[in-house]
């Protein structure tokens, strides 16, 4: 299957279990892998035969910068659900959601979840 990758989109949101995460907010990074047939788009050079990266970006922005969730898992699930609903050409989406600066003591680069969901069509 062909893939479109949209890497390291960065947003500011208010997700987390701790009260300060909901009050102060923090950065989140999202990487999407969209699986779909890109052959027709490659032959026609027509946006209507693929998926608009800008529109996918806006879906992610709306979710990450919108309603607060406690868990990264819930944010990732909402992104995958909306992407598959709004873009019927996409057969599978993989969402990697990274929290670069969680309020956890210790030395690490980030925490993240990654989920893959397929369309049920």
Q: Residues with catalytic annotation?
A: 99
How far is 63 from 79, CA to CA, in rounded Å?
Answer: 7
Three-class SS of residue 99?
Answer: strand
The vertex-89 CA angle with 27 and 73, nearest 5°, equals 30
* Residue 78 exposure: Cα atoms within 13 Å on the Cβ side: 19
């Amino acid at each position: 299957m062909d893939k479109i990758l949209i890497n390291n989109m960065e947003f500011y949101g208010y997700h987390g279990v701790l009260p300060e995460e909901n009050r102060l907010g923090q950065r989140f990074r999202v990487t999407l892998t969209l699986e779909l047939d890109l052959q027709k788009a490659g032959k026609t050079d027509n946006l209507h035969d693929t998926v608009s990266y800008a529109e996918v970006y806006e879906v992610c922005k709306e979710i990450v910068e919108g309603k607060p969730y406690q868990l990264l898992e819930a944010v990732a699930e909402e992104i995958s659900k909306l992407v598959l609903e709004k873009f019927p050409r996409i057969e599978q989406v993989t969402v990697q959601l990274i929290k670069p600066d969680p309020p956890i003591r210790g030395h690490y680069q980030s925490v993240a979840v990654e989920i893959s969901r397929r369309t049920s069509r």
